[in-house]
Amino acid sequence: MKDGDELASEVPALTSVPLIGVAVNAALAMLKIVAGIFGNSYALIADGLESTSDIVTSLIVWGGLRVAATPADERHPYGYGKAEALSGSVAALALLVAAVIIAVQSIREIFTPHHLPHWSTLLVLVAVIITKELLARWMGQIGSAENSSSLQADAWHHRSDAITSLAAFVGITIGLIGGPGYEPADDWAALLACLVIGFSGIRLLRASVREVLDAAPPAVFEQQVRELALPIPGVKAIEKCRIRKSGLRYFIEIHVEVDGRATVHEGHVIGGKVRRALRESSLRIADAFVHIEPWNEPREAD
């Protein structure tokens, strides 16, 4: 098990991930707004303004990760890990809000006469799509590896930007090829992209809320915990095993059955070995609470 100092040393590396997203969003927001103004694309300007909101979201995720890494104290004996799930919920809600805002803007633009954007806006959109998708994949991989709901939500913010930019690219291309009468094509494409973004926001929000409500992890994780505890000398069986996630780590409550004739001291020693094995494993277990239960050897039928 890593001690507090070792865990604290991991924080800067992990929290730097959303900060990189902040820097990329700031640069792309400026690029979109400038290109939208000179390329006669209101959709690109609106997309650039929406990217500025992603900066705030990434900062919220960064703050949540920092708070989640705060050591436990008397007021919060289980630590501050739930702050990570709460920031993930905020990021997911922001994704839903962004989908609604883009949808409203797209509908308004569909019924507002406007000129076709300049072809140069397509080059900007290609750069945005590639950059944001690469950033989303990189951040999503880290979020999955670290089991961070907030990083995964932030990754989808970047992917939503890539999706809306791809929709704008398709729409503008259709408009430039079709000519007059096809001006709203990019707005229709953006409206369809909102459905994808909204679905992802709902999925991420459900995952974050489940974590806040201490939903059980996948069955395979519980099986791994049981497999770690069962081989410990003196352990006869595993009765109950309850697991809850807090931040990037887990708290375990496990009921271990030992020989009913064992002394209190012997049971205590066995429980200590189980706790140590779980905490020193690679499963990111913050702590394990081991309950000792008596085990009676099944009698053969007469």
- The domains located in the chain, with CATH, are 4-212 (1.20.1510.10), 219-295 (3.30.70.1350)
Residue 40 in this model has a pLDDT that exceeds 80: no
Residue 274 has pLDDT above 90, yes or no: yes
Report the relative pairing of strands 237-246 and 285-295 from DSSP bridges: unpaired
* 213 band by pLDDT with thresholds 50, 70 and 90: confident
**Side-chain half-sphere exposure of 182, counting CA atoms within 13 A:** 13
Binned at pLDDT 50, 70 and 90, residue 300 comes out as low
**41 has a pLDDT exceeding 80:** no
Query: Shortest CA distance to 203 belongs to which of 149, 260, 252?
Result: 149
**Spatial contact of 84 and 43, defined as CB atoms under 8 Å apart:** no
3-state helix, strand, coil in the chain (%, to 5): 65, 10, 25
Locate 181 and state its tokens.
């009468």
Report d(CA 69, CA 83) in Å as an integer: 9
Q: What is the mean pLDDT of residues 209-230?
A: 90
Distance, in Å, from the CA atom of 234 to the CA atom of 177, rounded to the nearest integer, reads 76
Q: Rounded mean pLDDT of the chain?
A: 82
pLDDT score for 8: 47
Higher-confidence residue: 114 or 171? 171
Q: What is the mean pLDDT of residues 102-131?
A: 82
Segment 58-69 shows an average pLDDT of: 84
Instruction: Provide the angle, in degrees to the nearest 10, between the axes of the packed helices 149-178 and 120-145.
Output: 160
pTM value surpassing 0.75: no
48 within 8 A of 15, measured Cβ to Cβ: no
- Angstrom distance (rounded) from CA 149 to CA 101: 24
Which amino acid makes up residue 269? V
Q: Which helix (H) or strand (E) is 179 found in, with range?
A: none
Instruction: Say whether 124 sits in a helix, a strand or coil.
Output: helix
Average pLDDT of 200-205? 83
Max Cα-Cα span within the chain: 92
Residue 161: name the closest of 32, 23, 296, 12 by CA. 32
Q: State pLDDT tens for residues 8-34.
A: 445 556 778 888 888 888 888 888 888
Encoded tokens for 82: 């739930």
Task: Please say whether the beta carbons of 172 and 113 come within 8 A.
Answer: no
Question: Residue 185 — very low, low, confident or very high, per pLDDT cuts 50/70/90?
Answer: confident
At residue 19, the pLDDT reads 86
pLDDT at 113: 72
Residues 6 or more apart whose CB falls under 8 angstroms from that of 82 comprise: 68, 211, 212, 246, 247
pLDDT at residue 298, as a whole number:
60
Cβ(42)–Cβ(186) below 8 Å: no
pLDDT number for residue 294: 92
Separation of alpha carbons 142 and 139, rounded Å: 5
Q: Which of the 8 DSSP states describes residue 65?
A: H
Beta strand pairing status for 249-259 and 237-246?
A: antiparallel
Candidates 223, 219, 216; CA nearest to 238 is 223
Q: Band of the pLDDT at 2, cuts 50, 70, 90?
A: very low
Query: pLDDT-based confidence at 235, cuts 50/70/90?
Result: very high
Q: Which residue has the higher pLDDT, 147 or 218?
A: 218
